[in-house]
Structures are given as C-alpha cells and as structure tokens.
C-alpha cells in the first residue's frame, strides 16, 4: 500500500512521507497504523538495502477491501491438510512442539472404531468418524488461525504435552485482545507484529501495537538464529509478520504485558514478503 492512516493523529500518510518522520516519531506512530480504506491493522516497512521501497501493508484487510492482496495460493480443490480440520469438527489435534519430523499430518484412530481401510483420515458425511487425532506443527496452526476464521472458533480439542486438554476457541488469543488479565495464563497468543526494535542491552522487542498491546522479547544471543531461521536481514523484516507463541505472559512494574521468548520458546512465525 502507498498510504495508511495513523490513529494517533488521524493523518493519512504516504509511505515516502512517513519514512521521513523523525526516528522517535516514526517508531511511535508505526504502532498506530491502519488501512485507510477498510481500517484493518497495518504496518510500515522502511526501504531495504536490496532496493525495496518504503511501503505500508495491512494484515488482514476487511472483506472486499479494494487494497487487499492475496495472502497465499489456495490448493486447486480448496481443501488442503489444514482445511481437513474444519471438515472434522470432532477431531482432536495433537500439537507437535518439536516442529514435526514428518511432513504430512499424522492421523491416529481411537480404540473401538471400525477399521479405516483407506487410512486417509478424511471422513465424509456418511459413517462419520469424528474421533481422529491429527498431529499439527505450530506453523500449520498459525496458518489455520490466519486463513480460517472458522478454525478460531472451533470446538476441536487440543492435546499439548504437559497441559490439560482445551478447546481451540478457548486456547488461542489474538494479540490485540491480550490484557493484564492474561498474566500467568498459558495460551497460544497470535497475530500481526507492528514493528520490532532493539533495546539498549541488545534485546529484540517484537511489538503488536501501542503501549497497551503485548510485546515479545528475545535475548541478544538469540536474535541472529531467529533472523537466519526466517531469512530476515534486520528488524524491518519483522514488520507485518504473523507470530504464534505458546507461552505465559508477564506484567512489568509499568503495567506492560510482555512474553519472554527465551522462556516461552515454542513459537512459529510467518514473515511478510
């Protein structure tokens, strides 16, 4: 996008003009951006060393927004392995915290069910088999949360090692809905990052919005491995990224909600390109 609205001052900025703001003002205002057309949460990217111009983006846009661009290429039949979860609302999802060695979903059958000869794990309306247990990596769950609103409200049961079983709709919390009441609650916190900044001690702070929104912090020695993992050059590569963290937020003495990624190490990210 070439322009975006800043809710702090109500001004619609062109990307080239926004990039010229004083550094401190730019760092503050980039946490208050929205699409000027639909009001969806937006982010700003500075010009890159590789020649990419400064620009805005919004994730997600409201339905039918004229400025929206496709986030992904759907499968030919519109039913990939992630969509399968929506076809089977009774499924139990086993969360793979080791990022999964297998590339395909693992489907197990509960005891006492008739034999499934085709072993596909997808069940039609006739003779439904709602007790399949499917193994999913965090990256797959993040994709579902981004692309499938129905999944966010699903009654599917999550099985996470060392944790009580919980419904999908009760476990995943959008970043902009996190409050101080979530302190100490182990959940899946997900959403878009507005920006990232380095602290004086080298800590990387991943921000999801203004002062009241949750931020994630990463110790300096863990920053380079993160960049390497996701092909990021610097902090600008994190603006507009989606993140999913399975963790327990804390609240600082200044009433800031944050989550330490060195402690809450289970994380997936989808970087904007």
pLDDT at 64: 75
pLDDT at 270: 92
Conformational region of residue 70, where left means phi above 0, alpha means psi within -120 to 50, and beta covers everything else? beta
The percent of residues above 90 in pLDDT, for the chain, comes to 49
Extract the runs of DSSP E, i.e. beta strands, from the chain.
3-6, 12-14, 33-34, 42-45, 55-58, 92-96, 107-108, 133-137, 157-159, 166-167, 172-174, 187-192, 195-198, 204-207, 215-218, 242-247, 250-251, 257-260, 266-270
Given pLDDT bands bounded at 50, 70 and 90, which one contains residue 262? confident
pLDDT of 101 strictly over 80: no
For 11-52, how does the pLDDT look when each residue is reduced to its tens digit (9 = 90+)?
Answer: 999 999 999 999 889 988 988 898 888 888 888 988 876 677
For 178-217, how does the pLDDT look when each residue is reduced to its tens digit (9 = 90+)?
Answer: 999 999 999 999 999 999 999 999 999 999 988 889 999 9
Given pLDDT bands bounded at 50, 70 and 90, which one contains residue 74? very low
Backbone phi, psi, residue 137, to 5°: -85, 165
Given pLDDT bands bounded at 50, 70 and 90, which one contains residue 77? very low
Given pLDDT bands bounded at 50, 70 and 90, which one contains residue 68? low
172-270 CATH: 2.40.50.140
pLDDT of 54 strictly over 50: yes
Which residue ranges make up each domain of the chain? 3-58, 83-162, 172-270
The percent of residues above 70 in pLDDT, for the chain, comes to 77
Identify whether the C-beta of residue 183 lies closer than 8 Å to the C-beta of residue 250: yes
CA angle 195, 200, 201 (to 5 degrees): 105
Q: Quick one: how far is CA 73 from the chain centroid?
A: 18
């Amino acid at each position: 996008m070439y322009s975006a609205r800043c809710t702090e001052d109500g001004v619609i900025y062109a990307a080239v003009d926004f990039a010229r703001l004083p550094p401190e003002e730019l760092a503050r205002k980039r946490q208050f951006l929205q699409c000027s057309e639909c009001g969806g949460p937006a982010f700003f990217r500075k010009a890159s060393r590789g020649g990419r111009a400064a620009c805005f983006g919004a994730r997600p846009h409201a339905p039918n927004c004229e400025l929206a661009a496709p986030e992904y290429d759907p499968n030919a039949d519109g039913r990939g392995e992630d969509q399968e979860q929506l076809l089977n609302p009774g499924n139990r999802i086993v969360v793979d915290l080791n990022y999964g060695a297998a590339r395909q979903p693992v489907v197990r059958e509960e005891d006492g069910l008739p034999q499934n000869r085709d072993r596909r794990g997808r069940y039609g309306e006739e003779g439904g088999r709602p007790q399949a247990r499917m193994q999913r990596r965090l990256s797959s769950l993040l994709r579902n949360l981004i692309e499938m609103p129905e999944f966010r409200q699903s009654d599917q049961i999550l099985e996470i090692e060392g944790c009580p079983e919980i419904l999908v709709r009760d476990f995943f919390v959008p970043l902009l809905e996190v409050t101080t009441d979530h302190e100490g609650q182990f959940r899946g916190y997900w959403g878009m990052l507005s920006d990232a900044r380095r602290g004086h001690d080298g800590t990387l702070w991943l921000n999801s919005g203004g002062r009241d929104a949750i931020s994630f912090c990463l110790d300096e020695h863990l920053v380079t491995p993160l960049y390497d993992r996701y092909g990021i050059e610097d902090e600008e590569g994190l603006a507009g990224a989606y993140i999913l963290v399975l963790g327990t937020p804390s609240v600082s003495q200044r009433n800031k909600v944050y989550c330490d990624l060195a402690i809450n190490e289970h994380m997936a990210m989808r970087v904007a390109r």
